[in-house]
Homo-oligomer: A and B are copies of this chain.
Amino acid sequence: MTKCAVCGAAFHAGDYESLSRHFCGLAEKSDPGHVMWLNKNVTKKKTDVIELQRLLQVYFDFRPFGIKGWMKKRFIDRFYGESPHPFVLALQHPSKATLLGYVIEHQHFLRQWTRSCAYIIAKTDKVDVTLYELDNINTEFGGYGPDKPSHYELLLRMGESLGMGREKILATPPLPDTQSAITTWNEIAEKEHWLETMAAMHPLELIANKNLRLDGASVSYFDPLILQGNEVTDATKNFLREGYEADVEHSEVAMDLISKYSAELGTVEGVQATFLMSIDAFDRYLMARLERGKEFESS
């Protein structure tokens, strides 16, 4: 099924003509969501239905890269292209304010992360997917005992090392953009096929994948030099190092499972649309980390 990555409107598989008419119709009405999506992803020029159909076909054609390569390419274009995402730029040599913004918003992300992965386990009938997601939740939220604390725990320790008490962190509700992104991810997990939920969540772990530069990313998530020296606290290094290392395997293995099962189940187009909807939410969510950070800039 071909779906609109903005509103989820569904068309027959491969019917880019209808998708193109859908976009052109809404662009004529100046619908901000659809116009912005076209501008960001396909073209900034005004185009007719036929030209847009051609552009959409090219945009969604994953065959030259495989679905995994296509997702990486789209992710890099969005977050690691010529103008990397503002949060990524801020994280190269992060201020205390940026890191605190990260801590406060990301605790909510990781709670949703756990829920989304649990929905996949709840719905899948594939044992390899169950075991992958179980390990992922353990790493991100449950932890593997005192020697291997979860990323959630490492995040809270980073916050404490920056002078904010755990109770205060936990009691701070998310900003509206974080909440709206969480709602998007929860609705996908509740309503869509488990494979689309995988495609919504795990490619996001590419953000910290240190191998992404080999695939064309212009910068890494942060300047790896900050893991040495005293530019950031030890707890910050522990948190950033963990993600930097775990997320390579997490995102790669998950995308291999997505490739395998989207071919087996014949649902590549749904996977593509849900993935795109999710990276839009992720973009807003990363902006919310920066917005929260501003609260601490004078401190």
Contacts and interface: CB of A to CB of B under 8 A. Distances in A.
Interface in A209-267: none
A119 B120 CA distance: 9
Interface in A159-204: 189-190
A131 B152 CA distance: 12
A137 B121 CA distance: 10
Given A118-B119, A131-B142, A135-B142, 14 more contacts: A111-B125, A114-B121, A114-B130, A115-B123, A118-B118, A118-B120, A119-B119, A121-B121, A122-B122, A122-B189, A122-B190, A134-B137, A134-B138, A138-B138
A141 interface: yes
Interface string A83-127: 000000000000000000000000000010011101111110100
Question: Assembly of this chain: how many copies?
Answer: 2
Per DSSP, chain A at the interface is helix
Contacts of A111: 125
Interface in A130-149: 130-131, 134-135, 137-138, 141-142
Contacts of A141: 130, 134
Interface of A: 111, 114-116, 118-123, 125, 130-131, 134-135, 137-138, 141-142, 189-190
Contacts of A122: 115-116, 118-119, 122, 189-190
Nearest to A124: B115
Contacts of A121: 114-115, 118, 121, 137
A141 B114 CA distance: 18
Contacts of A134: 137-138, 141-142
Q: Which 5 A-B residue pairs are closest in the complex by CB-CB distance?
A: A118-B121, A118-B122, A119-B122, A134-B142, A118-B118
Contacts of A116: 122
